[in-house]
Amino acid sequence: GMNLLAAFLLLVVGYVTGYPDQMRAVVEYVEPGTAAEEAGLFPGDRIVAINGEEIVEGPVQIREIILGSGGQPLTLHLVRDGEPLRLVATPRSVEGRWFLGIAMEAWPDPESVRRYPLLQATGMAVQDIYRVVDSLIHLPRLLSQGEISPQEARPTSAVGINSILTLALQQSLEWHVAFPALGMAALVSFFLGLTNLLPLPALDGGRVLFVLIEAIRGRRIRPEVEAFVHQVGMFILLALMLFFVVQDIVNPVVAWSLLNR
């Protein structure tokens, strides 16, 4: 319960201290032999518009435009070394999806950083939590349809969480905006709260499950039986934690997410 409350409060503070409404997209890397290199894109180029559509949501918006291009030529409006520039790039199909061959970095537009009033910040925090819950509900469907890979949906350990939080803190320091660090801390706190509510022995959710079983049966479960179930549950949880730690060391979640930006 406290974790969920902490997540909500962190989001509220994030919106009150300043949230960037618009994101810029800067080319970080150009893959050799791709459409991007052929078109003349270089690291450091800022993409300000594509086919006349202004880029206000950063790399996310650009990826959507490229994926929905159908392989048609895209007119890229750039800023390079402070000068406007126009290039034409034609996405290529890779395994049925359209790509230009660039890795991008998101940067907030300094003029778009807004400090929201407390009431509005509270409403936005509620919306964010609703969106996360809604995403979790639809996760099995997205996995079954292949819209999200098991790699993207896999759980992470303290090692992976630490890497993600470090990246978010680094982003906040670079952007001079607290929201990335506060938002990621809120997300971690939210998922810790949800995990604790799972109906598993050794967690609060497991204790709630025992209370419900006792209420349905009309009599208490023997203490030695409950203690044994909790011990088994603790052993399974520790084994899972160890497994996820190994996964995060062998296949780091942050490194993967960076490669797929």
DSSP the chain: -HHHHHHHHHHHHHHHH-EESSEEEEEEEE-TTSHHHHHT--TT-EEEEETTEE--BHHHHHHHHHHTSTT--EEEEEEETTEEEEEEE--EEETTEEE--EEEEEEE-GGGEE---HHHHHHHHHHHHHHHHHHHHHHHHHHHTTSS-HHHH----HHHHHHHHHHHHHHHHHHT-SHHHHHHHHHHHHHHHHHHTSS-TTSHHHHHHHHHHHHHHTSPPPHHHHHHHHHHHHHHHHHHHHHHHHHHHHS-HHHHHHHT-
Q: Are residues 247 and 225 in the same domain?
A: yes
Q: Are residues 130 and 208 in the same domain?
A: yes
Q: Are residues 189 and 232 in the same domain?
A: yes
Q: Which domain holds residue 252?
A: 2-16+115-259
Last residue of one domain, picked from the residues 108, 124, 152:
108
Q: Are residues 103 and 47 in the same domain?
A: yes
Give 10-residue mean pLDDT values along the chain (261 residues): 89 92 89 93 94 91 92 95 94 89 85 90 94 81 63 56 76 80 89 76 68 77 74 71 61 42 32
How many domains does one find in the chain? 2
Q: Are residues 156 and 209 in the same domain?
A: yes
pLDDT at 165: 78
Q: Are residues 123 and 249 in the same domain?
A: yes
Q: Are residues 144 and 82 in the same domain?
A: no
pLDDT at 247: 60
Q: Are residues 157 and 71 in the same domain?
A: no
Q: Are residues 155 and 226 in the same domain?
A: yes
pLDDT at 142: 66
Q: Are residues 44 and 133 in the same domain?
A: no
pLDDT at 15: 93
Q: What is the CATH number of the domain that holds 75?
A: 2.30.42.10
Q: Are residues 62 and 128 in the same domain?
A: no
pLDDT at 74: 96
Q: Are residues 126 and 180 in the same domain?
A: yes
